[in-house]
């Protein structure tokens, strides 16, 4: 994070933008490229996308839940990180939270002793897959009359964790082995932060916390974002936080990044005290980080805030019987438009009422993984031969500098321009209109935010150049 000083010229701000770099956690997140998402919960059984809040715990009734099957499907497809839903908007907790009666503990599933989050985390760890947890800020169960969401309560000083009668953490809190926080929280935020605390202290390392911005409640609950971020960064300092903090929503749910996708953005707010990243531009705007955006007079600081591209392999986030996975060419197009444009692809699968990812989704995931491996793994890249696509990389640990580039191929003894583009970032993929045989490739950086910007260029051989696949 670099503050913008009031006296900075436009050139000064550009020079500062060139110095902004990712944290190690952001770098690890970006390099993983393919993240999985698993939406599973009462909606799986009711056929709804957002739920109502009027569900009952016994609605959640998987017959053969096997989180190892989930992990195996993602591992086989080469996904290095998976985010699981711990609570979606309808408010049902898939873990036995102390702060609600609306959870797996109240269901007949495993006689109330089940914990989907535990099974999920353990299964991913067994496969060396990084773990992310989704805890919906919006909560339709709590938005019911007489409950805590948007109930107008005033913030008060709250100790987190807030111990409950017979709390098994009492000794660890008393001897300081579990950290405590004193925070100003209203009723709902007190519940939410205590649930974050449970998820971030009882399940081992968590590499990503997913704070969905969607709100189907029609109510305005103030969110204590700064307190949430303080708790998350204290309990899991190596986690990235989706939305408001370390990775951002790309702006659509189709897995498509911008042609020019900047990871360095200008923000408003006091850089000394603001944990929240308030972008100068709306999160869905076409341009978030160009020189024009950097020159916005409201901008007070610059930070690394890269794009995560969420999308689902089926239509919608949750399973229904009729849903079939997207075709492989739709998924490869998505890969090219996300990972191939400096984003991370966060691809959702939808387990069914058994608690298993249906075989057609597993197979398609595997096909996508095989395609990525054979087309874009390092071993699949060449510096000469018949190529169908160009792959570029910038060393983002040093920042994102390149604003324009041209790629040439040495074709029968003379350099021909094959492709041009704007940003590169972690990875940029450009599919050629038709394959071409080159003896060599070169990239020319034609505009950059600092001297010495360099990129790597390679070609991919395996491509049918029919647009997507």
Q: Which residues here bind ligand IPT, judged by CB under 6 A?
A: 212-214, 243, 249, 253, 310
The 8-class DSSP code of residue 142 comes to: T
- Which lies closer to ligand IPT via its Cβ, residue 217 or residue 243? 243
Asked if residue 384 lies in contact with residue 294, where contact means CB atoms within 8 angstroms, the answer is no
- Which lies closer to ligand IPT via its Cβ, residue 136 or residue 195? 136
- Which lies closer to ligand IPT via its Cβ, residue 244 or residue 421? 244
- Which lies closer to ligand IPT via its Cβ, residue 112 or residue 213? 213
- In degrees, rounded to 5, the angle at the alpha carbon of residue 344 between the alpha carbons of residues 343 and 349 is 140
Which residue's beta carbon is nearest to the bound ligand IPT? 213
- Which lies closer to ligand IPT via its Cβ, residue 89 or residue 98? 89
- Which lies closer to ligand IPT via its Cβ, residue 214 or residue 450? 214
The 8-class DSSP code of residue 456 comes to: E
- Which lies closer to ligand IPT via its Cβ, residue 310 or residue 469? 310
| Strand-pair category, 307-312 with 385-394 | unpaired
Q: How far is the CB of 311 from ligand IPT (least distance, A)?
A: 9
How buried is 378 (Cβ within 10 angstroms: 0-12 exposed, 13-18 middle, 19+ buried)? exposed
Neighbours of 396 (CB within 10 A): 23
Residues 6+ apart with CB under 8 A from 409: 387, 415, 416, 418, 436, 438, 440, 441
Q: How far is the CB of 247 from ligand IPT (least distance, A)?
A: 11
Closest of 231, 217, 218 to residue 189, by C-alpha: 231
The structure tokens listed for 213 are 């911005």
Q: How far is the CB of 346 from ligand IPT (least distance, A)?
A: 9
How far apart are alpha carbons 65 and 453 in whole angstroms? 50
Q: How far is the CB of 307 from ligand IPT (least distance, A)?
A: 12
- Backbone angles phi and psi of 377, in degrees to 5: -60, 155
The distance of Cα 33 from the centroid of its chain, to the nearest Å, equals 10
Closest of 244, 192, 247 to residue 213, by C-alpha: 244
Neighbours of 101 (CB within 10 A): 10
Q: How far is the CB of 230 from ligand IPT (least distance, A)?
A: 20
Q: How far is the CB of 214 from ligand IPT (least distance, A)?
A: 4
- Which lies closer to ligand IPT via its Cβ, residue 223 or residue 376? 223
- Which lies closer to ligand IPT via its Cβ, residue 59 or residue 253? 253
Q: How far is the CB of 318 from ligand IPT (least distance, A)?
A: 14
For 152-262, strand residue ranges (E) read 156-160, 181-185, 208-210, 240-242, 248-249
Q: How far is the CB of 192 from ligand IPT (least distance, A)?
A: 15
Q: How far is the CB of 142 from ligand IPT (least distance, A)?
A: 18
- Which lies closer to ligand IPT via its Cβ, residue 189 or residue 243? 243
How far apart are alpha carbons 310 and 249 in whole angstroms? 8
- Which lies closer to ligand IPT via its Cβ, residue 281 or residue 295? 281
Asked if residue 431 lies in contact with residue 463, where contact means CB atoms within 8 angstroms, the answer is yes
How far apart are alpha carbons 163 and 74 in whole angstroms? 37
How buried is 467 (Cβ within 10 angstroms: 0-12 exposed, 13-18 middle, 19+ buried)? exposed
The structure tokens listed for 379 are 């071993």
Q: How far is the CB of 213 from ligand IPT (least distance, A)?
A: 2
Neighbours of 204 (CB within 10 A): 12
Q: How far is the CB of 371 from ligand IPT (least distance, A)?
A: 25
């Amino acid at each position: 994070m670099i503050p913008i000083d009031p006296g900075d010229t436009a050139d000064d701000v550009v020079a500062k933008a060139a110095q902004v770099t990712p944290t190690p956690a952001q770098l690890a997140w970006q390099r993983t490229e393919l993240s999985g998402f698993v939406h599973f919960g009462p909606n799986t059984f009711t056929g709804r996308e957002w739920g109502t809040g009027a569900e009952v715990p016994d609605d959640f009734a998987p017959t053969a839940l096997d989180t190892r099957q989930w992990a195996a499907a993602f591992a086989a497809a080469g996904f290095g990180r998976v985010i699981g839903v711990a609570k979606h908007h309808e408010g049902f907790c898939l873990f036995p939270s102390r702060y609600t009666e609306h959870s797996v503990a109240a269901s007949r599933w495993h006689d109330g002793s089940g914990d989907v989050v535990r099974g999920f985390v353990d299964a991913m760890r067994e496969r060396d897959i990084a773990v992310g947890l989704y805890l919906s800020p919006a909560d339709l169960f709590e938005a019911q009359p007489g409950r805590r969401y948007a109930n107008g309560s005033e913030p008060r000083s709250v100790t987190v964790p807030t111990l409950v009668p017979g709390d098994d953490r009492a000794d660890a809190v008393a001897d300081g082995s579990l950290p405590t926080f004193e925070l100003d929280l209203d009723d709902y935020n007190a519940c939410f932060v205590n649930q974050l605390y449970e998820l971030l202290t009882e399940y081992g390392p968590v590499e990503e916390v997913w704070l969905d911005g969607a709100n189907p409640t029609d109510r305005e609950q103030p969110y204590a974002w700064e307190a949430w971020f303080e708790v998350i960064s204290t309990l899991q300092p190596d986690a990235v936080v989706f939305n408001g903090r370390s990775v951002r929503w790309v702006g659509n749910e189709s897995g498509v990044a911008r042609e020019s996708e900047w990871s360095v953005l200008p923000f408003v707010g006091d850089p000394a005290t603001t944990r929240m990243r308030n972008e100068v531009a709306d999160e869905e705007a076409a341009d978030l980080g160009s020189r024009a955006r950097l020159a916005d007079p409201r901008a007070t600081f610059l930070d690394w805030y890269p794009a995560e591209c969420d999308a689902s392999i089926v239509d919608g986030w949750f399973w229904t019987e009729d849903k079939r996975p997207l075709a492989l060419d739709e998924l490869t197009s998505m890969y090219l438009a996300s990972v191939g444009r400096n984003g991370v692809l966060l691809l959702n699968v939808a387990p069914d009422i058994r608690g298993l990812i249906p075989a057609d989704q597993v197979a398609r995931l595997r096909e996508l993984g095989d395609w990525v491996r054979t087309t874009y793994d390092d071993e699949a890249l060449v510096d000469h031969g018949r190529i169908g696509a160009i792959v570029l990389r910038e060393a983002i640990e040093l920042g994102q500098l390149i604003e324009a580039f041209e790629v040439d191929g040495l074709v029968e003894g003379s350099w021909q321009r094959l492709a041009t583009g704007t940003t590169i970032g972690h990875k940029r993929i450009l599919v050629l209109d038709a394959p071409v045989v080159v003896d060599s490739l070169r990239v020319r950086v034609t505009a950059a935010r600092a001297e010495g910007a360099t990129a790597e260029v390679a070609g991919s051989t395996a491509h049918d150049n029919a647009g997507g696949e």
